[in-house]
């Protein structure tokens, strides 16, 4: 692949990763044997609560041999699902993570318990793809799931199954300990720390595991969590999933009459208000930096159990999100820099993108992250898949993609195996200022430099939401801080939710929302164009939708103003 002006950034990243690999290898050689490798659990003390949504009807599908995970389905015809090749990596991770056992528990029947034990017995017998099953995040999820669903699995079980179950828990702990000693990505380290804490709290004889997990959890929360409650990945889904584990973990500490780590308590207290900032009126999260479809009941459960006040955070300067409210209308905008490479495997090139909703009706969206499909995920991360400005048909981020010939191809392939499809270069300097107009309108003005290294232009955006929420005024401008250069083709995109229909109304665009509202989009200097788009963040797969696009030539001083105006409620 051709790296152009990013080649030295790429080589520096490769050098840092090579040095980290060498340090990890040296640590493995010089370190003594782990004390956790000799531990065996002797019994279970408690079973942590699982806050994730369960559905007894899914248990019926599983009993019938239909396994639907991550947007893919597999019909086993009465055979074990572990005898089949996974339809996608994400499907396999869900299968071997055993989170789906909660649906069998919701069925609350002897048949469901017997069925669950049979599946776990198949796995304990060695069936399935061990390479996929032993990936650190999958092992961490499996350990938490087995502990949470132990009442389902062990009620009515014989002694042999119980002993095999304990051995499986011990193997999970040893796998995680070995992976941590070898070195894994930060997000996986945090997941492993949570799983080790659960194992130490729930199992007799695992006191050293609890001490190790608590130390690791305290360290990783301090390193990875930001002061405003966000995570360094800037991924709202990661925050939601982490909180779904941290809340039961906090309760498990209290159940065992052990004081939870201060870092755990502080993280939970900060994360809940941030989720409120990112939540729209339909009770789902904004589609930023790796977030796709959100299970609204999970989010509602978190906000109830989290115990935070009903007032959301309005601005998260460290995580890089801001929220404007007016009446029942709200805007959530991405005003943060690209995450570091180790945290950016799911991050998108959506700097200064925004999403607009009116009550429970989503109007302007980003395309969102699909549940599966490498090509679709690659497309969903581009700037063109976000409601912001893209220049010269390129993205504001450069992703680690080893496709194509060239000297750097083997090196890029090695880096991708280590880091995933990470962001190599993206917006580094992003500024955002909030203010209030004399009439009470909420304003945010932001700027990013994602296109400066390649095209020499900065993108500026100003959003102003009226107090009653009836009008969102916006302006996009471009600045060239260095010497003059040629004009660059630009496209300012506004992706519409699939329930919104667009039609030309003179030089404007009339939007008919699913809730009956009518909105009018107007642009002052450029005629808007209605084009096809795709919405990836739907539970039933990608859906066709539309987008409004302003095409223009961007150069120093170019400015485009536009507005969304509500006509009726």
Question: Per-residue pLDDT tens for 278-315?
Answer: 999 999 999 999 999 988 888 888 888 766 555 678 99
* 182: CB partners within 8 A, 6+ apart: 24, 28
User: Residue 415's pLDDT is what?
Assistant: 85
Q: Is residue 53 left, alpha or beta, with left meaning phi > 0 and alpha meaning psi from -120 to 50?
A: beta
pLDDT of residue 406: 47
Please provide residue 68's backbone torsions phi and psi, each rounded to the nearest 5 degrees: -115, 110
pLDDT at residue 82 in the model? 96
CA distances from 227 to 51, 222, 231, 233, 336 (A): 25, 9, 9, 14, 14
DSSP single-letter state for residue 24: H
- Strand, coil or helix: what is 461? strand
The CATH number of domain 375-568, selected from 2.60.40.10, 3.40.50.300, 1.10.620.20, 2.70.98.70: 2.70.98.70
As a whole number of angstroms, the distance between CA 264 and CA 258 comes to 13
Residue partners of 239: CB distance under 8 A and separation at least 6: 229, 230, 231, 271, 274, 275
What are the tokens at 469?
């929420």
Q: Which residues of the chain have pLDDT under 50?
A: 1, 406-407
Q: How many CB atoms lie within 10 A of CB 397?
A: 23
pLDDT computed for residue 69 by the predictor: 93
* pTM for the predicted model, two decimal places: 0.93
Spatial neighbors of 379 by CB under 8 A, at least 6 apart, are 367, 385
For the chain, give every domain's residue range. Answer: 375-568
The Cβ of residue 104 has, within 10 Å, a number of other Cβ atoms equal to: 27
* DSSP codes joined into one string, 277-303: HHB-TTS-B---TT-----HHHHHHHH
Between CA 196 and CA 205 the distance in angstroms is 13
Integer Cα distance of 191 and 422 in angstroms: 19
**What pLDDT is recorded for position 58?**
92
């Amino acid at each position: 692949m051709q790296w152009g002006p990013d080649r030295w950034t790429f080589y520096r990243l490769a050098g840092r990763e090579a040095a980290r690999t060498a340090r990890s290898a040296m640590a493995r050689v010089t370190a003594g044997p782990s004390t956790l490798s000799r531990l065996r659990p002797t019994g279970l003390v408690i079973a942590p609560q699982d806050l994730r949504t369960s559905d007894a009807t899914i248990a019926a599908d599983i009993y019938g041999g239909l396994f639907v995970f991550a947007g893919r389905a597999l019909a086993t015809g009465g055979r074990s699902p572990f005898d089949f090749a996974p339809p996608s990596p994400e499907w396999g991770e869900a299968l071997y993570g055993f989170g789906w056992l909660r649906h069998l528990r919701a069925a609350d029947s002897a048949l469901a318990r017997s069925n669950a034990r049979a599946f776990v017995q198949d796995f304990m017998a060695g069936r399935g793809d061990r390479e996929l099953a032993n990936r650190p995040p999958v092992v961490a999820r499996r350990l938490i799931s087995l502990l949470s669903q132990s009442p389902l699995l062990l009620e009515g079980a014989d002694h042999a199954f119980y002993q095999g179950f304990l051995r499986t828990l011990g193997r999970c702990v040893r796998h995680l300990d070995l992976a941590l000693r070898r070195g894994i990505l930060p997000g996986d380290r945090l997941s492993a720390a949570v799983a080790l804490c659960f194992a130490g709290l729930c199992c007799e004889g695992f006191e050293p595991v609890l001490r190790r997990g608590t130390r690791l959890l305290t360290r990783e929360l301090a390193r990875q969590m930001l002061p405003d409650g966000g995570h360094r990945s800037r991924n709202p889904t990661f925050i939601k999933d982490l909180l779904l584990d941290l809340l039961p973990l906090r309760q498990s500490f209290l159940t065992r009459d052990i004081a939870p780590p201060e870092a755990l308590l502080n993280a939970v207290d900060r994360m809940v208000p941030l989720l409120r900032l990112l939540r729209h009126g339909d009770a789902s999260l904004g589609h930023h930096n790796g977030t796709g479809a959100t299970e609204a009941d999970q989010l509602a459960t978190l906000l109830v159990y989290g115990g935070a006040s009903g007032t959301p955070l309005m601005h998260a300067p460290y995580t890089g999100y801001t929220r404007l409210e007016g009446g029942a209308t709200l805007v959530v905008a991405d005003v943060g820099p690209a995450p570091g490479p180790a945290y950016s495997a799911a991050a998108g090139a959506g700097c200064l993108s925004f999403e607009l909703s009116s009550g429970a009706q989503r109007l302007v969206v980003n395309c969102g992250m699909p549940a599966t499909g490498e090509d679709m995920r690659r497309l969903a991360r581009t700037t063109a898949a976000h409601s912001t400005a893209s220049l010269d048909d390129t993205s504001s981020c450069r992703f680690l993609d080893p496709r194509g010939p060239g000297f750097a191809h083997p090196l890029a392939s090695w880096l991708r195996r280590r880091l995933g499809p990470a962001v190599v270069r993206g917006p580094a300097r992003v500024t955002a200022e909030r203010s209030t107009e004399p009439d009470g309108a909420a304003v945010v003005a932001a700027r990013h430099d994602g296109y400066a290294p390649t095209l020499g232009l900065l993108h500026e955006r100003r959003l102003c939401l009226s107090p009653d929420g009836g009008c969102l005024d916006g302006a996009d401008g471009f600045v060239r801080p260095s010497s003059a250069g040629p004009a660059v083709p630009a496209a300012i995109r506004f992706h519409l939710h699939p329930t919104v229909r667009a039609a030309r109304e003179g030089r404007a665009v009339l939007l008919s929302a699913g809730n009956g509202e009518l909105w009018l989009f107007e642009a002052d200097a450029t005629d808007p164009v209605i084009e096809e788009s795709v919405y990836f963040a739907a539970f039933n797969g990608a859906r066709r939708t539309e987008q409004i696009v302003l095409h223009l030539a961007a150069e120093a001083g170019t400015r485009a103003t536009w507005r969304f105006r509500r006509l009726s409620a």
